Chains A and B, each alone.
Chain A
């Protein structure tokens, strides 16, 4: 049971270690999915601009706190 708990904790840590980063990525992917219904180009632009902005924002915020 301990091993299963450790595996679950490891999986959690792998994908959701930083709640703010994970939430931002999932929101952006959701918005991109909506945008892709209108224009694939818009979806691509959202991903290419949005993900770097998310990264900079979470790193700077973490450094500030």
Chain B
């Protein structure tokens, strides 16, 4: 049985990050379904999920062969690269320096792009459409798989993190299937900002643990680390807004 104080941040990070990624993948699956029907969309999605499951199942046992401190250092560094990348982008979007992601616009441009691709190809159109769904789910799913492994592997929380990600998939698919349109009202940037904070906090925590740092309060140190990145993110937004206006 796992400790909720440790598991809750991992589950929340996996859930929220997965919502962001699954919403993006769902938009392209919806494009495919709109243009060619649900059959190629679901076949492409299913094939990608099988590939992702094979990757996770194959990588999971390999991770147990790596010494824990080396694993924590590598995963911590990757989390910092990934999480601070998200946080940087979310800060710049909040400050108005770069445009917010627009799921409706993404749906329109993907529909045009796939339509052009299908017209210019001699391959069966369902095949091209299914491949588009496959690629979208695989590429967005890779990020979900990384986050699940990264926040879960260091403390044996792979399953709780995976359940968090799976819950996000189910939630997005249920809402998306009911609405049958892109989920443009999901606050993508706020989610990215929050997940960036969580992953950056995990990144500092694991990197430190991997290098022998003993954090005060052990796992509870994640909370002040999260607060630190929240404050830093808000300050960065403010400074970036000022710079952009200057």
Chain A residues within CB distance 8 Å of chain B: 3, 6-7, 10-11, 14-18, 21-22, 25-26, 29, 32-33, 36, 40-41, 43-44, 47-48, 51-52, 54-56, 58-60, 62-64
Contact = CB atoms under 8 A, between A and B. Distances in A.
Contacts of A55: 84, 87-88, 91, 200, 229, 232-233, 236
A29 B77 CA distance: 7
Contacts of A63: 92, 95, 97, 239-241, 243-244
The secondary structure that dominates the A interface is helix
Interface string B204-246: 1001100111110000000001001101110111011101100
Interface in B120-141: 134-135, 138-139
A48 B240 CA distance: 21
The secondary structure that dominates the B interface is helix
What are the 7 A-B residue pairs with the smallest beta carbon separation, nearest first? A63-B240, A52-B232, A63-B243, A36-B211, A44-B213, A59-B236, A15-B81
Interface of B: 73, 77-78, 80-82, 84-85, 87-88, 91-92, 95, 97, 134-135, 138-139, 142-143, 146, 200, 203-204, 207-208, 211-215, 225, 228-229, 231-233, 235-237, 239-241, 243-244
